[in-house]
Amino acid sequence: MLILGIESSCDETSIAIVRDGNEILSNKISSQIAIHKEYGGVVPEIASRQHIKNIAAILQESLEEAKVTLDDIDYIAVTYAPGLIGALLVGVSFAKGLAYGKNIPLVPVHHIRGHIYANFIENEVELPCMALVVSGGHTNIIYIDKNYNFKNLGATLDDAVGESYDKVARVLGIGYPGGPVIDKMYYEGNPNFLKITTPRVEGYNFSFSGIKTSVINYVNKMNMKKENFKPEDLAASFQQKVVNILCDKVLKACDENPVKNIIIAGGVAANSLLRKELKERGEGKGLNVYFPSMKLCTDNGAMIALAAYYKIKNGYKEEIDLSLNGVATLAIDEI
Ligand code: KG4
Ligand code: ZN
């Protein structure tokens, strides 16, 4: 089964072709980071325009690399939510056009499900498992039962982890996206430099806003006093606190629910400290800890194709009206 996966929810235009849910024939990604960097974050209108400019060429490149044509494709999968609405519309409209023109079934995919299923491309993950979702817009702990049913156990009450990384980076003046830079700075700083209070949050929920504010307040205080500080120390203190909280919560969820496996999903799954600490601490408790390879952590079309593969395997029937007469809307649903 060949699935073409299209992703355009934020600042990456990506199209991939995946065979039988485990073989990536191509996964072309055109990142707009260099363009948005000068604004300190993603500018939605620019993102939509870049997707329009790139998407047809990315399709061509992806087909060429996979050495297939559109006639070989069995399903077209596309991210329909969540994300920047203009950016999503480009991918969804493009996917609908292809599906209608070539008479190929269309499968709508929730972006976060894509991040979760990225774990299943390279690893044989046994179910049930616990998913720690850490992206620019989401922070969730999700229990996945043996029939691939998702149960959301907890979520952030304010900022998402990736969002707080990006906001701290902005205050430290180190550009967008902040995650990868803070991750590097961690190794040149003192993680015990700034004492950050652990927020008291019930159950499996999270809060990152106070942690971010501790760093921002320190920076403002030092700037007001015209005193110097080492940004690496703040980056290290911030990252250490965030990673400790993520590990504590997901391991608690594993203690209290019947699972032996943990997966990490979303852009922050690329974080070196989170990967190391969760693996060490999880394995110390007899759990298997999985994360996608770096290229599959951030937004890409392969994860969207994969999520569609599992959706089809679990009985998905095309439910979208692609006729030109019908209003072809996709309902926004929960993860
Ligand atoms: O999943 P993603 O590509 O987009 C969303 O679906 O939101 O995640 C992007 C987020 C950004 O906030 C970025 O700063 C963060 O992932 N990120 C990282 C790292 N690489 C990317 N955060 C921490 N450490 C990293 N190495
Ligand atoms: Zn994402």
CB of 7 closer than 8 Å to CB of 80: no
- Answer yes or no: do 181 and 315 share one domain: no
The preferred substitution site among 185, 268, 294 for testing ligand 1, maximizing ligand atoms within 8 Å of CB, is 268
pLDDT value at position 331?
47
Report CA Rg, the chain. 20
| Nearest residue (CA) to ligand 1, atom 8 | 267
CA 184 to ligand 2 center in whole angstroms: 21
Helix (H) or strand (E) holding 220: helix 209-224
Residue whose pair of structure tokens reads 């994860």 in the numeric block? 303
Tokens read off for 241: 């606190």
Among 113, 165, 211, 277, which is best to mutate for testing ligand 1, by the most ligand atoms less than 8 A from CB? 165
Q: Could you tell me if 243 and 213 lie in one domain?
A: yes
What pLDDT digit, counting tens, does each position of 173-227 carry? 998 899 999 999 999 999 999 999 999 999 999 999 999 999 999 999 999 999 9
| Residue of minimum CA distance from atom 1 in ligand 1 | 267
Q: How confident is the model at residue 317 (pLDDT cuts 50, 70, 90)?
A: confident
166 and 206 share one domain: yes
Atom of ligand 1 nearest to the CA of 272: 26
Say which DSSP state 69 is in: -
One domain, residues 319 and 267: no
Same domain, 145 and 260: yes
Sign, CA dihedral 101-102-108-109, equals: negative
CA distance 109 to 335: 10
Q: Give the Cα separation of 318 and 99 in Å (integer).
A: 11
User: Phi/psi of residue 85, each to 5°?
Assistant: -60, -40
Classify residue 89: in a domain, yes or no: yes
Residue 123 included in any domain: no
Of the candidates 114, 115, 138, 142, the residue with the CA atom closest to the CA atom of residue 128:
142
Number of domains in the chain: 2
Ligand 1: does its nearest atom lie under 6 Å from the Cβ of 5?
A: no
Which atom of ligand 1 approaches the CA of 161 most closely?
Answer: 12
**162 Cα: distance to centroid of ligand 1 (angstroms):** 5
Note whether 142 and 228 are same-domain residues: yes
- 196 and 213, same domain (yes or no): yes
329 band by pLDDT with thresholds 50, 70 and 90: very low
User: What is the number of the ligand 1 atom nearest to the C-alpha of 270?
Assistant: 26
Name 18's Cβ contacts closer than 8 Å, sequence gap at least 6.
Answer: 2, 3, 5, 24, 25, 121, 302, 305, 306, 309
CATH number (domain holding residue 323): 3.30.420.40
Using the mean position of ligand 2's atoms as its centre, give its distance from the Cα of residue 224 in Å: 36
Spatial contact of 92 and 331, defined as CB atoms under 8 Å apart: no
| 97 CB-near residues (< 8 Å, 6+ apart) | none
In a domain? residue 327: yes
Task: Examine the domain organization and report whether 11 and 157 are in the same domain.
Answer: no
Judgement on whether residues 78 and 148 belong to the same structural domain of the protein: no
Express as a percent the part of the chain with pLDDT over 70: 95
Confidence (pLDDT) at 175: 85
CA gap 267, 251 in Å, rounded: 20
pTM of the model: 0.93
Q: Is 114 in the pocket of ligand 1 (CB under 6 A)?
A: no
- Closest by alpha carbon to 13, among 332, 260, 304? 304
| Partners of 264 in the β-ladder | 132
Which residue lies with its CA nearest to atom 4 of ligand 1? 136
* Element containing residue 17 per DSSP (H, E): strand 12-19
Together in a domain, 249 and 300: no
Considering the domain architecture, whether residues 276 and 300 belong to the same structural domain is answered as no
pLDDT tens-digit profile of 61-120?
A: 999 999 999 999 999 999 998 899 999 999 999 999 999 999 999 999 999 999 999 999
Structure tokens at 54: 């790139």
Is the CB of 129 inside a 6 Å radius of any atom of ligand 1? no
Question: Which residue's alpha carbon is at the smallest distance from atom 13 of ligand 1?
Answer: 179
- Ligand 1 contact, 178 CB (< 6 A): yes
User: What is the 136 CA–ligand 2 centroid distance (Å)?
Assistant: 7
H helices then E strands: how many in the chain?
A: 12, 10
User: What domain range is 330 assigned to?
Assistant: 2-117+296-334
294 CB-contact burial (10 Å; exposed 0-12 / middle 13-18 / buried 19+): exposed
